[in-house]
Structures are given as C-alpha cells and as structure tokens.
Structure 1
C-alpha cells in the first residue's frame, strides 16, 4: 500500500504589538513576513487608532491576505488573526465580554481542520477600575472554553497574552491573586495543555520584563491534550523585543504529525 504523507506542519507565531504607532507597526509587519515560522499569526494589543489600521494594511501588503480582526466599539485594544495562505473561517466563541479581544477561526492545514482562539486579557487597569475588566474577561473565557472545545475533534489552539503567570512561576510575585492562577488552571480543566511547559518543564520562559529586569511569563499557548504529541516546537523569540519592535517576546509553535 502507498505510504500516507504526514500532515503539513502548522507554523504559528504569537506576537504582542504593544499598540504600535504606524511606523513601528509597519516594521512589525515586515519582521513577521520574514519569519519562516509565521504562516499563521496571532497579534495581541493591537490599537484601535492609526497604528492598528497601519498594521492591518502592512500585513496585507506583506503577504497576509487573510485577516480576522474584529474591531472594538470604542477605544480599546484588540486581537488579530492573520494567515499567509490558509483562509480563516471565523467561528463563534461564546465570549460575550470584550469579544474583539478573543477572535476565533477554523483553518485547514495539511488536510486537517484546526480551531484557533487568540486572547488578549486586559491588564490590571487604572486604580478606579482595578481588575474589573480583567476579572470579567477571564470569567467570560473560562465559561466559554468548554463549549468552544465541545464537538471538535481536531487540534484546538488557544494562544495570546494572558497577563497572568503560571502557579509556581519563578520568581514568585505576590501581586497575583488566586483568581488569576485559577484562570491559568481553567485551561487544563477544559482539556488543554500548556505547550511551552510541556516542551520545557523547567525553563523560566519569561516573555516580558519589568523596568527592574524581573521576568514574567505572560504569553502562553495551549493545545488540546490529546494533540500534545503533535507539538514539535514551542519557544519564545526575543529578537523583536531586542530590536524595539515590542516589549514582549514573540512565541512560536510548530504542530506536525
């Protein structure tokens, strides 16, 4: 019998755009287009003004014709899904609070269907609204995850800037509360596994650094537990952070098998 060809790899890059102004947004798009591992891109913290519009235009000009970019009703950040060659088929998420921060799509890669959800969790917020949007968004995601995964037997990937660290993070930061660690745990409860931690059990994996140089692992990628063997690489790329394109490292995932 003829040998069955393995599925084509899915190469995904997650990148925090840090509400870039137009010039930096265009440089971000150029950098992404040069990455072999950026066939599919999830961009978080995309601004709603001229910088965000410049980023979308530049992505299209640099070879990303497929975009799923729900825009906020007011001045808020959003999450964008972009694809070089694979069409994006938007799907409902069940996330009713700040849905522009949580777009989802299904894609065909190598003959298999994959579901993707990009997330940008609000930061702790100003003093007069401390954690209100963050709590509400996290609650909405936690409630929606089981339904989002239900009835879909292909790989499901959830990725983005969650603005939380994992339990046991090194170093420990007392500012994070139990409700934030519970949000991280909710992905495992829904049937997902931390792809980076599965590949690197002991690495710190810091993706953002404070002014004092302290590292935080804010950016995460999860995949359905049953498809963990398909993950062949999951790493942080610090080049865009060192080049001043963002204050976050990018995150790369390769899925094969």
Structure 2
C-alpha cells in the first residue's frame, strides 16, 4: 500500500472563529495533510474570508460561496494544489450551505459535498429553516451521484445538526422528521462511514451545556456518508478530538480515508437500518 492509493477527506465545524483563532485553525489543518477539507460554520463575515485567503496562501484551492442574506454561515471546500477541484451543482437551493465539487487525486476521482444543516433557530421560527433545508437535501440525494458525474464514490460530509436513531445518550428534543432525514441517506444509497467502521462505538463530536456534577451531554452531529456501492474503499473513519480539546473549535474534526487497495469490507451495513 502507498499513499498514492489513498484519499483523505477531513470535515470540521470551525465555529465561526475569530481572526486570531482562524489563523491557528489553518495551521492545524495544514498539518493534517488531507486531500480534501470540508469546513462548516464558516463565517459569512471577515474571518470566513481570511480562512479562504490563508488557505490559498498555503497552496490550497478554495471554494467558498458568497454568503446568503440573513445567514451568518457557509461551507468551504479546499484541496491542495496537486488535487483537481471542479465546482459542481448539488441541486440544493441553498448552495452556500451545500457546496459540491468533483475532486481528482492520484488515487481516485470522487464527488464531494460539504453540508451544514441549520440549527433549530429562534423560538419564533423554531425548526422552520432546518426542516426546509433537510427536506431539500433529502430530495436531492437520489440524483446526487449522477449530478456530480464522478468516476468514483460520492462523499457527503459535514455538521448535520442531527443525531442518528438509537443515539447514546438519547436526546428527546429531536423529532421523527429529523431521524427521517438521517435515514434518507440510506434510502438514497449512502452509508454512514463511521458506523461502517465502528458499528457499536459511542463517540461524540459536540457537547452541550453542563447538566450537573460536571457532566455534559454529547452529540454525534458531524457525519460522513459514502455511496454504499463504494463502501469497501473505506479504510477508516474517525473523529479527531484534539482540536476541540485544545479550544480551536467546539466541535471535533472527522476524517475518512478511502483506499483503492482495501477489500472485503461488508457493504451491506447500513447504520440507518442497524440503529433505527
């Protein structure tokens, strides 16, 4: 096995960082040497622009859509200079929160979609934007592979602001429609890459407020989905907790490693069915 056989995708919610923290985030990201960066909760303001600029100065190609009116956040995709990056259309009406591209490295050609689902929103419009966006994504998923036109797998990565059915601990705040959104990936032919490699692991990418006795409820909000027909390429999918623990963001990062030499991984596993 050689590095030329692998493609690494890293996704991370950067928590609308200040300029100073953005600089530290860029330094951490560069050290990871990923082939594709999918960054969510990128500021619609100055620090988002700085993130793009500083990545370009470090030799990255960057896709960063213009911010939308009255939305503070967007998604950024980036690749090193030796990886081909071609912008694509995801078919989702909010492209600043659903950025798509065809990526070509020495290992393979893949479709990549960076996804950042809105949070629950203010009390007077609780879940309106979130539910509408999730419905639009679910509607686009069945045609996503054909739309991107990549020769290899399609990877959908980012902060979905929803947990899987059977999540530990259980969080009653989530409605059936939110679990249906998670299940819509399986229905459209995508597999949860983390569950593929870690069927029973209990791990969290974000933690809520202190619930007493120093305990904080954990949430597995950040996900990577991979076309099920290509699930055998997934060598690993794991959370990187160091940037959260070091205060670079309130989210852990996540990476998936796709490897042309991997074989024998059962593609029948589908977390939406397994944990429903």
Alignment TM-score, normalising by the size of structure 1: 0.93
In the other structure, the counterpart of 2:35 is: 39
Which whole-Å CA distance do the structure 1 matches of 2:84 and 2:124 have between them?
42
Where does the alignment leave 5 or more consecutive residues of structure 1 unmatched? none
Question: Could you tell which deviates more after superposition, 72-81 or 47-56?
Answer: 72-81
Instruction: Map 1:123-202 to 2 at 5 A.
Output: 123-150=119-146, 152=149, 154-202=152-200
Q: For the aligned residues, what is the CA RMSD?
A: 1.5
* Aligned residues of 1:89 and 1:106 also touching (Cα < 8 A): yes
Deviation per CA, 1:56-97, whole angstroms, max 9, x where unpaired? 111112231x1111112324200010001312101111101x
Q: Secondary structure at the match of 1:214?
A: strand
In the other structure, the counterpart of 1:14 is: 11
Q: Would you identify which runs of 4 or more consecutive aligned residues in structure 1 move more than 6 Å? A: none
Higher strand share: 2
Question: Could you tell which deviates more after superposition, 69-78 or 222-231?
Answer: 69-78
Q: Secondary structure at the match of 1:201?
A: coil
User: Are 1:67 and 2:70 an aligned pair?
Assistant: no
* Aligned residues of 2:7 and 2:107 also touching (Cα < 8 A): no
User: Are 1:218 and 2:214 an aligned pair?
Assistant: no
Question: Could you tell which deviates more after superposition, 173-182 or 76-85?
Answer: 76-85
Q: Secondary structure at the match of 1:26?
A: helix
User: Are 1:243 and 2:246 an aligned pair?
Assistant: yes
Which whole-Å CA distance do the structure 2 matches of 1:114 and 1:247 have between them?
29
Q: Secondary structure at the match of 1:166?
A: coil
Q: Secondary structure at the match of 1:205?
A: coil
Alignment TM-score, normalising by the size of structure 2: 0.87
Which whole-Å CA distance do the structure 2 matches of 1:141 and 1:17 have between them?
22
Q: Secondary structure at the match of 2:20?
A: helix
Which whole-Å CA distance do the structure 1 matches of 2:107 and 2:11 have between them?
23
Aligned length: 250
In the other structure, the counterpart of 1:233 is: 236
